[in-house]
């Protein structure tokens, strides 16, 4: 009898006791009771087999559960629009709008009349107000979709005239020529990699031309013996000119003098401008179409538009971003280097007080997200041993910096000042 009482298997916690643990209750809220209970039962089985102690059952069950995805990450890379981190972080206003839109909304209803209304009218009106040079606007689910819709509606079975120097790869192995040809259009390549003239375009334009395409090569820079044709000259060719500005900059920004903007392209004569919403605009993933009223209406009524339609959450976030443009993207781009240095020094001092070997060093941040590749942003970082990178990346919250010459840099340009205490705590946990 004494041996039976001493059997450690008798000390394995009961299932109902474990499921009442706060950590497992929280897991049930996100993963569901059945999934959490299965992890608990599996951990109890391991304890009964002697693989773990009864005291380890709770932690073993929690460890077996998948982490919620996606996880919020502190971006200390110095890349403002980091594609692997979801590009633009939404503003507080946009987040609040998404939460409000999560339930039933008036996304396609006029509450005054009780009748159907134009879908996403608030976002569309805000976009039109932000770019008065556009006679009409429309929104689809990403920048590539905007270009695909234009190519399908205007050039399926016809030709798109484009410079060889603008046939870019847009990421993850996807290439612009493949994207455009998938619509049934034929590409008429003109010029060379480094030089294209107006005469090259003029010789190619003919009865089969659907439109001339001007693509901003936003993720690389070609320097030296180069030439490209500006939009105002392409607009003299007598055919529609579609300009893919890529980055979603709606109006000029003195910080980015070489980055094309939607308003400027339209004033120069573009028939249609396409852009992304989750880059320099600082909003959700979306494809923006701005330009000629008849053309935009033609695109809006095309059958493909239904497949490219944005959901109510995107429309809500986009409207809030446009109404209140103080986005994290803009804050990071225009952060004061002196203020960044002061924050870095305070963080270094706080870490040093706990014996953490931190240094303050100048850093160079970049725009990222396929935008303004030649622009460098003066910044400041806290430098730590390279061994901190893994524990920080796997911590809670995860912190992502960058490795330079074997040392880890935590660049503060993209870290909100309100998160400095969170960053300090994360580093101290990584230091052990």
Look at residue 327 in the predicted model and tell me its pLDDT. 96
Mean pLDDT on 293-308 = 96
| CA angle in degrees (0–180, nearest 5) for 32-35-37 | 100
Backbone angles phi, psi at 311, to 5 degrees: -85, 175
Higher pLDDT, 168 or 105: 105
pTM of the model: 0.87
Mean pLDDT on 221-238 = 88
Q: How confident is the model at residue 168 (pLDDT cuts 50, 70, 90)?
A: confident
Dihedral sign computed on CA atoms, order 321, 325, 328, 332: positive
Question: What are the tens digits of pLDDT across the range 62-116?
Answer: 989 987 778 899 999 999 999 999 999 999 999 999 999 999 999 999 999 999 9
Q: Which domains does the chain have, with CATH numbers?
A: 2-64 (no CATH), 74-86+330-431 (3.90.1150.180), 92-325 (3.40.640.10)
Q: How confident is the model at residue 175 (pLDDT cuts 50, 70, 90)?
A: confident
Mean pLDDT on 117-136 = 97
Q: Which of 83-92, 274-283, 363-372 has the lowest mean pLDDT?
A: 363-372
Mean pLDDT on 317-343 = 96
Look at residue 246 in the predicted model and tell me its pLDDT. 86
**What ranges make up the beta strands (E) of 128-168?**
136-140, 159-163
Question: In percent, how much of the chain has pLDDT > 90?
Answer: 82
Cβ-defined contacts of 333-342 (< 8 Å, 24+): 333/80, 333/253, 333/255, 333/280, 333/367, 333/377, 334/255, 335/377, 335/379, 335/413, 337/378, 337/379, 337/380, 339/417, 340/379, 340/380, 340/412, 340/413, 341/380
Mean pLDDT on 365-372 = 84
Look at residue 6 in the predicted model and tell me its pLDDT. 61
User: At residue 8, does pLDDT exceed 70?
Assistant: no
């Amino acid at each position: 009898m004494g041996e039976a009482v001493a059997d450690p298997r008798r000390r394995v916690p009961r299932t109902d006791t474990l499921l009442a643990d706060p950590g497992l209750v929280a897991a049930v809220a996100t993963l569901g009771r059945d999934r959490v209970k299965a992890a608990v039962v599996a951990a109890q089985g391991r304890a009964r087999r002697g693989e773990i102690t009864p005291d380890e059952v709770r932690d073993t069950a929690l460890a077996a559960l998948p982490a919620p995805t996606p996880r919020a990450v502190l971006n200390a890379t110095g890349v403002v629009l980091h594609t692997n981190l979801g590009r633009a972080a939404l503003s507080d206003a946009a987040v609040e709008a998404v939460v409000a839109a999560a339930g039933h909304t008036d996304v396609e209803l006029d509450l005054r009349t009780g009748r159907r209304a134009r879908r996403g009218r608030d976002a569309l009106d805000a976009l039109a107000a932000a770019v008065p040079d556009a006679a009409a606007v429309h929104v689809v689910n990403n920048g590539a979709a905007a270009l695909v819709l234009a190519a399908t509606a205007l050039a399926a079975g016809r030709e798109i005239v484009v410079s060889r120097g603008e046939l870019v790869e847009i990421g993850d192995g996807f290439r612009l020529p493949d994207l455009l040809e998938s619509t049934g259009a034929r590409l008429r390549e003109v010029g060379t990699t480094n030089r294209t003239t107006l005469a090259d375009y003029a010789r190619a334009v003919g009865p089969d031309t659907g439109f001339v395409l001007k693509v901003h090569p936003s993720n690389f820079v070609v320097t030296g013996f180069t030439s490209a044709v500006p939009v105002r000259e392409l607009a003299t060719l007598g055919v529609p000119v579609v300009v893919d500005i890529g980055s979603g900059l709606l109006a000029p920004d003195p910080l980015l003098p070489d980055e094309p903007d939607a308003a400027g392209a339209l004033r120069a004569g573009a028939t249609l401008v396409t852009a992304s919403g989750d880059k320099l605009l600082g909003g959700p993933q979306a494809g923006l179409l701005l330009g000629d009223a008849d053309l935009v209406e033609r695109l809006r009524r095309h059958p493909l538009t239904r497949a490219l339609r944005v959901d109510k959450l995107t429309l809500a976030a986009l409207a809030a971003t446009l109404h209140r443009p103080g986005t994290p993207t803009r804050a990071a781009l225009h952060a004061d280097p002196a203020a960044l240095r002061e924050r870095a020094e305070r963080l270094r001092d706080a870490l040093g007080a706990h014996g953490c070997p931190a240094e303050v060093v100048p850093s160079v941040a970049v725009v990222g997200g396929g935008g303004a590749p030649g622009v460098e942003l003066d910044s400041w970082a806290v430098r730590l041993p390279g061994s901190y990178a893994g524990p920080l990346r796997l911590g809670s919250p995860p912190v992502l910096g960058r490795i330079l010459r074997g040392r880890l840099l935590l660049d503060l340009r993209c870290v909100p000042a309100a998160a400095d205490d969170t960053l300090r705590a994360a580093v101290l946990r990584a230091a052990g």
